[in-house]
Amino acid sequence: MNLSEKVEHILAASLEHQGYAIVRVQVSGNVRKTVQIMIEKLDHTEITIEDCERVSRHASVLLDVEDPFPFAYVLEVSSPGLDRPLVKPKDFERFSGKDIKLHLTEILHHRKRFIAHLNHANDMGINVTVKEESAEEDLSFDVFYHQILSAKLHVDFGHSIGKKGKASGTSKG
């Protein structure tokens, strides 16, 4: 079990009892280690700063007692944000029907990175559809979870900004 899994194992049941689920735990940094815990509410309502503070205090106590780290660390607790990472099979199932950014561990259909529509998910993997500019039809295919390096919801802000009003960076005057 790696450190991220240990932290999740230590905290998951207690946080769930308080109404939170762990989205992801990441341990990063070389000299100054950071432990980032990304949380969401079980009822999927908005995470507030107060929620993050509450979970941070609670997690600090539990991690001090269990002491899974052989080093000093900084603890960060955050919400998943708009471009929420998809980590577990239940995340992919929950967000079926949404667009995602997908980064694979190996080349599939001549690429490793895709913006795709998440059609559905099961215990083995996901099925996505990718719009191919050069093809007549969209490309649909299956991806196993072990092939996914990272995945997150795709947020496209471009559709809300019309092309006519785009700023050019130069001024005529």
Domain segments of the chain as ranges: 3-78, 89-153
What are phi and psi for residue 134, nearest 5 degrees?
-90, -10
pLDDT at position 162 over 80: no
Residue 159, class by beta-carbon neighbours within 10 Å (0-12 exposed, 13-18 middle, 19+ buried)? exposed
State the CATH architecture for 89-153: Roll (2.30)
CA 14 to chain centre: 22
How many Cα atoms sit within 13 Å of 152 on the Cβ side?
A: 12
How many other β-carbons are positioned within 10 Å of the β-carbon of residue 154?
A: 17
pLDDT tens for residues 101-143? 999 999 998 899 999 999 999 999 999 999 877 767 899 999 9
Per-residue confidence (pLDDT) for residue 136, from 0 to 100: 75
Which CATH superfamily does the domain covering 3-78 fall into? RimP-like superfamily, N-terminal (3.30.300.70)
Confidence of residue 161 (pLDDT cuts 50, 70, 90): very low
Start-to-end C-alpha separation, the chain: 64
Structure token digits, residue 159? 């559709």
Q: Phi-psi region for residue 156, left (φ > 0), alpha (ψ -120 to 50) or beta?
A: beta
Measured CA to CA, the distance from residue 137 to residue 120 in angstroms comes to 19
pTM of the complete model: 0.81
Q: Phi-psi region for residue 172, left (φ > 0), alpha (ψ -120 to 50) or beta?
A: beta
How many other β-carbons are positioned within 10 Å of the β-carbon of residue 102?
A: 25
Per-residue confidence (pLDDT) for residue 160, from 0 to 100: 40
Per-residue confidence (pLDDT) for residue 76, from 0 to 100: 97
Identify each DSSP E strand in 42-138 by its residue range. 73-78, 99-108, 111-121, 125-130
pLDDT tens for residues 57-111? 999 999 999 999 888 999 999 999 999 999 999 999 999 999 999 999 999 988 9
Confidence of residue 149 (pLDDT cuts 50, 70, 90): very high
pLDDT at position 163 over 70: no
Per-residue confidence (pLDDT) for residue 170, from 0 to 100: 39
